[in-house]
Structure 1
Amino acid sequence: MSTASQPVPRLAADRAVLRRGLKVVWSGIREQPKPFSVAVLGSVLWAAATVGTAGAIGWVTDTVIEPAVGEGRLTTVGFWTIIGVLVAVLVVNVVGVILRRVYATVAGFNLQAGYRRRVTRQYLRLPLSWHHAHPSGQLLSNAHADIEATWQVFNPLPMAIGVIFMLVIAGTMMVVVDPLLAFIGLLVFPGLFAANLVFQQFMSPRITRAQQLRAEVAAVAHESFEAGLVVKAMGREDEEATRFRSSTHDLRDALILVGRTRGTFEPVIEAIPTLGTLAVLGAGTWQVARGELDAAQVVQMAYLFSILAFPVRALGWVLAELPRSVVGHDRVQHVLRAQGAMEHGDVRLPAEGPPARAALEQVVYTHEGEDEPTIRGVTLTVEAGSTTALVGPTGSGKSTLVNLSLRLVDPVSGVVRLDDVDVRELARGVVPSVATLVSQQTFMFDDTVRGNVTLGEDATDESVWEALRVAQADGFVSTLPDGIDTVIGERGGSLSGGQRQRIALARAVWRDPRLLVLDDATSAVDPSVEQAILAALREARAGTTVLVVAYRMATITLADQVVYVEHGRVVDQGTHDELVGRCRGYADLVHAYAREAAERAAVERGEEGL
């Protein structure tokens, strides 16, 4: 490609960004018409008052100041005339500025709040498979920095519209006063626009780059915080510090480049109106000497140019924000237009009542980005009121089957039913009201024990303590400083892993679900505590259907039905004794579980040599 042809794509790209940016702005105006209209009205008042100040100064100079200078004194009437005129103009200016700034802010923050709600709702609608493919740092950036960048343009936009109105009024006034001075002075504005356009061509990619690097720094920081335990346990503090330092240095360099560009262009842009004002004063002095103008008119013209220099920059600010708006809007739309959002019907099931029945029929599921299916034509029924244990080697698909049964993900093919109803036909919120999951990776909120059990719902102390008792958590909770009102810290940092699991179990028990799903939910507690939990669960929740991913014999032997899974397929199902007698893979696996449990118990008793 020749050098001469290179600017064409750049110009086309700039125009495309401008068009897309204006479309983003127009969509925001349509969503916030009232506050934006008031902001524009305030901007027009401000523009009229600003230009009117020049007219007022010219009128006061001509009718009050010049006669006072000629007479050698200023009368009281003249004094109050000056004060009254200037105060009137000032009041209109202040009212306009207040309306412009307040309602521009209202429109901008309303848009930000609305889009944050949309993005958050979309996050909740999208299946886990989509979230697995998008790191949490990126999702945080989409919901915060990208939305802020999209609608930041609404801060200078009303002012820029007022500037256009101001230029029309000022230009008309200049031509009326003196066409020659108007022509000389108005040459300043093409120069300002040209300088601003060149400025934006240099600034836009630099600002966009800085915005992207801000998101990267946030992502690295978030990942480091989330992995705090791993970082400290593996002694990776220095490596994480180096990784964060590299990201922050990139951001620093990008921001320095932005500052250098601004420092290079701004003095030039500031100088252009000053040169224009000097040119008007020079030409005006010549006109006064010839008797074609009086001093008041020259003062009025010079003041107009001096007050227009700064507001015209608002047009440049809008141009600077448009590329950021386009980048932010594209990143947000990537979330809002993401495919895979779960569809819901209008069928409802009772949250309270008899145990639920769950069934999977020829279900196939493939993780995003993988070619081979994880679940291969599984048919499985969990009868109402029964306890079914899913058993299988690591990676066999047990947790995926749990996610499918709770409709955390949808199958590629096949049907998942709850009480004989296809879960895709159920209304939003029905599955969580009927079924509850307790996973191995328990999450605790930075809240009290009560808040973590009830998740903010109203509850009596008795019901909370009963749920804790079933989960074998009442003992250690009673020793906490404030009992169930003790704040347990971020992610339950003040508790052990087993204590967090028991509170998570209490959270599920408190809801009295018709289907309780346990995904290795007692792995962090002692076997004796696990047996006590399972026994209390069966006693207190005899009417609940239980689906449990099991690794311990104590759990497996309590199940009415055991389903053995390998490579995403159901190999066999029946009672524990039946499977031990006829399924070689199952027998080998549970015997390995038993040996591991015996060895662990021996170590705990100090009998390592046995």
Structure 2
Amino acid sequence: MTSVDNRIRQTPLQAALTACTSSFLLVFAYSCGFNLLLLAPSIYLLQVYDRVLSSRSVDTLVMLTLIVCLAVLAGALLDTVRRAALTRIATWLDDRLRHVVLWATFEYASQVNSSRANEAYRDLGTLRQFIESPISTLLFDLLWAPLFLGVLFFLDPLLGGIGTACAILLFGFALMGEITTRVPLAQAASAQARSFSHLWHALNSLSVIRALGLINGAVRQVHNDAEEAKTAFQTAARRTERVQALARPTKALAQVLIMGVATWLVLEEQRNPGIIFASSLLFGRGLAPIEGVAGGWRTISSMRDAYRRLAEVLATAPATQPHRLRLPEPVGYLSVSDVSYCPPGGNAFVLKGVSLRLLPGECLGLIGPSGSGKSVLGHLIAGLSNPAIGCITLDTIGVATWRRAVGGSYVGYLPQEIELVGASVAEAISCLTDPDQTEVIRAAQMVGMHEIIMRLPKAYDTEMSEATSRLRPGQRQRLGIARACFGRPRLVVLDEPNAHLDYKGEQILFNAIESLKADGTTIVVITHRTGILPVTDKIAILEDGMLSAFGRSQDIFERHLRRPQINASR
């Protein structure tokens, strides 16, 4: 496989890390210098005992001291520089990946798993924090632990053997801690996530919970999950304590053995007395990164899991970040051509060979029994998913392409479940764009919400959470319709727009649809309530995912709905 093929197959995360290769090599070079300079104190002790004490030369002592002081200061400088470099690498990675991770998170949530997508966004922060943390520098130092242990072997094989045996034991204890705590920690994380999830859902349904007297049950549910998480955390903590109870005395005993053996070598083999202190320093320096990595093994494991999840989510994103195409404003010709659709993970088509066409300014009423595929077809017409077979175009360009190119500027959508997203009422209506106050007010007036919004504490600047608590379901639905109509879209899909509307609300909806039609907007209305059908120009009937009837509203009324007068229900 060529290098070009490799670059094409890389995820954005892999490409970003590859771009940091030279920076990581520079950090490794700094680490080389830092760890080599850490040998200076040990060499200093050996030289003091070997040269200064035998010659009783003050000048030699002063020169050795100055050289070692410079070496220590240089090492400290290199350590500071490499930590700063890692911080800059982490910041650069975060800046480069933040946008594409956000985009991929939404794509992954819509296509695969929303909870895993939520984790992936946090995983980017976990990766950045790991690179900035001291544990990452310890990983670079870990590569030099064999050097210090090797110097111990150079001083005496017995000293090197003690140091190596201790390092192996500490690493074994770290591995034991990872294996014994993996299951309880996973159970604790799962239970804690359930506890927060149940609390969040309870708080968002507080009025219903109070009305039905379910507060005690909700509290018990959240508390039981929290207790399960606490028990699992305590199990992991006890196992960690047992492992640490073995690891702490192991290092202390090894330190005593090192100094004892070094002293014995001085006494029995007339070795340089400096070997006592030098071996102790080398042993401590060699074991420091091993001990640090062992203590931070849980952090390393969390980073590894975060990287795996992030790479999986980013695999759903394209190699380059999405960009906005410059497309001309559509006129409004909607074409649904032989569309079939099978949901992800399903094995049966919920839509089969659906075809219909609408001219600019026409309104289609899409009706049918529950489960016939009406909302699925509306979802596809709005460009939120792609059909498995066939195509849906707006002015010969796929609706999904319009949505990717210009967002929701030309395609408005009202889902069945009204979720008003935004910091304020104005942001919720303007689809999280920089709100044009004139357009926001025009959309609100179209659905008769302007006066109601003006009575809110801060009018259009009222926080959405406060506005939601003050507005009735029908008013929230009208806000959703205003959002779908914001910005003069060329295609609007309304799924059950009159589900929560009273008679007055339906009249306002009629007027809004008539206004959209007069403006040349193509409209698709999905409904179970036939009272809205008189405002339509065409009607389509779905049954079992197939189009059983499609034509002018008057004809469909006469042939299928047995309503001879289209205006009878006005």
Question: What is the TM-score normalised by the length of structure 1?
Answer: 0.77
2: CA distance, partners of 1:575 / 1:340: 42
Q: Is the 8 A contact 2:373 2:545 kept in 1?
A: yes
1:248-327 to 2 correspondence within 5 Å?
Answer: 248-290=226-268, 292-316=270-294, 323-327=301-305
Q: Conserved in 2, the CA contact under 8 Å of 1:273 and 1:306?
A: no
| Contact 1:348–1:427, Cα closer than 8 Å, also in 2 | no
State the match for 2:162 in structure 1.
187
Residue equivalent to 2:141: 162
Measure the CA separation in 1 of the matches of 2:164 and 2:467. 58
Q: Please report how far the alpha carbon of residue 47 of structure 1 lies from its aligned counterpart in structure 2 after TM superposition.
A: 1.9
Indicate conservation of the 8 Å contact 1:463/1:510, yes or no: yes
1:568 aligns with 2:550: no
Give the aligned partner of residue 15 of structure 1: none
Question: Structure 1 counterpart of 2:496, which letter?
Answer: D
* Cα distance between partner residues in 2 of 1:266 and 1:392: 66
Alignment check: 8 A CA contact 1:150 1:327 kept: no
What corresponds to 2:503 in structure 1?
527
2:79 is equivalent to residue 97 of structure 1:
yes
Structure 1 partner of 2:5: none
* Counterpart AA for 1:53: P
CA distance in 1: counterparts of 2:433 and 2:323, whole angstroms: 26
The within-5 A match list for 1:38-49 is 38-49=26-37
Asked whether the equivalents of residues 213 and 247 of structure 1 are also in contact (C-alpha less than 8 Å), the reply is no
Q: In structure 2, do the counterparts of structure 1 residues 28 and 265 end up closer, same or farther at CA, with 3 Å as the change threshold?
A: farther
Counting only pairs closer than 5 Å after superposition, residues 229-240 of structure 1 correspond to structure 2 as 229=205, 231-232=209-210, 234-240=212-218
Q: 1:476 and 1:369 mapped to 2: Cα distance?
A: 44
1:122 to 97, 104, 127: 104
Does 1:88 pair with 2:64? no
Residues 422/161 of structure 1: CA separation in 2 closer, same or farther (3 Å cut): closer
Bigger mean CA deviation after superposition, 47-56 or 315-324: 315-324
Please say if residues 38 and 99 of structure 1, whose CA atoms lie closer than 8 Å, have aligned partners that are also in contact.
no
SS at 1:548 equivalent: strand
Provide Cα deviations, 1:162-200, integer angstroms capped at 9, x if missing partner. Answer: 23325315633x455x43xx5234322233213422431
Instruction: Render the CA deviation track for 1:271-295: whole Å, top value 9, x for unaligned.
Output: 3333233223323333333571233
Aligned in 2, Cα 1:249/1:116: closer, same or farther, shift over 3 Å?
Answer: farther
Q: Deviations over 1:385-438 (max 9, x none)?
A: 111111223322211111111221222222222223445776832573321112
Q: 1:503-582 alignment to 2 at 5 Å?
A: 503-539=479-515, 542=518, 543-582=520-559
Answer yes or no: is the 8 Å Cα contact 1:520–1:550 preserved in 2.
yes
Secondary structure of the equivalent of 2:413?
A: strand
Structure 2 unmatched ranges of 5 or more:
1-12
Matched residues, number: 551
SS at match of 2:182: helix
Partners of 1:519 and 1:220 in 2: CA distance: 33
**Could you tell me whether the CA contact under 8 Å between 2:153 and 2:160 is conserved in 1?**
no
Distance 1:490 1:39 in 2: 50
Larger displacement relative to structure 2 (195-204 or 475-484): 195-204
Contact 2:342 2:388 in 1 (8 A): yes
Q: Which amino acid aligns with 2:465?
A: G
The question of 1:471 aligning with 2:447 is answered yes
Aligned to 1:487: 463
For residues 108 and 384 of structure 2, the distance between their equivalents in structure 1, rounded to whole angstroms, comes to 9
Aligned identity (percent) is: 19
2-structure distance, mates of 1:434, 1:26:
35
Asked if structure 2 preserves the Cα contact closer than 8 Å seen for 1:404 and 1:411, the reply is yes
**Relative to structure 1, is the Cα distance of residues 455 and 416 closer, same or farther in structure 2, using a 3 angstrom cutoff?**
closer
Q: Is the contact made by 2:159 and 2:262 (CA closer than 8 Å) also made in structure 1?
A: no
1:551, 1:219 → 2: CA distance?
36
After TM superposition, give the deviation of residue 568 of structure 1 in Å. 2.0
Question: SS of 2:409's equivalent?
Answer: helix
Q: Which residue of 2 aligns with 1:56?
A: 44
Q: Would the alpha carbon gap of residues 344 and 102 (structure 1) be closer, same or farther in structure 2, given more than 3 Å must change?
A: closer
Cα deviation digits, residues 520-558 of structure 1 (max 9, x gap): 224333321331243144236512111112344442111
Q: What secondary structure, in the 3-state scheme, does the structure 2 residue paired with 1:441 have?
A: coil
Contact 1:534 1:555 in 2 (8 A): yes
How big is the shift at 1:111? Answer: 5.0
When the two structures are superposed, what TM-score results if normalisation uses the length of structure 2?
0.82
What do the CA deviations read for 1:220-265 (whole angstroms, capped 9, x no partner)? Answer: 5235414531555554444444443343334333333332233222
Q: CA deviation at 1:439?
A: 2.3
